[in-house]
Amino acid sequence: MVEDTIEVAEIGYVYLLKSGKYYKIGRSNAPGRREYEIAIQLPEPAVTLHVIKTDDPVGIEKYWHQRFASCRKNGEWFELSWENVSAFWRRKFM
């Protein structure tokens, strides 16, 4: 007998966090907790601006990193324009 394997999609979140003039695009299964973890390491307060719920957090995070690659400063930190932030903000689910 062959067992059927059902693949369950992982629901997660891709978030846009702001600290000073820089933005972080990351993923988490608990964005509030992640904001706290990041904030304790930063010299300026960090605020989550928007969260996108997704069944592909890895792929969606990669999409936004590639889309804003020219704005990358270091790691997952970006210097975004208002137009960039607005594009991210318009997404509720991907």
What would the pLDDT profile of 46-56 be if each residue is shown by its tens digit? Answer: 888 999 999 99
How far apart are alpha carbons 92 and 5 in whole angstroms?
Answer: 30
Percent of the chain with pLDDT over 90: 57
pLDDT at 10: 76
pLDDT in tens, 5-34: 655 567 899 999 999 999 999 999 877 777
Q: Give the domain ranges of the chain.
A: 12-89
| Euclidean distance between CA atoms 53 and 11, whole angstroms | 7
Count of residues making up the chain: 94
Percentages (nearest 5) of helix, strand, coil residues in the chain? 35, 30, 35
The whole-number average pLDDT for the span 52-75 is 95
pLDDT at 6: 59
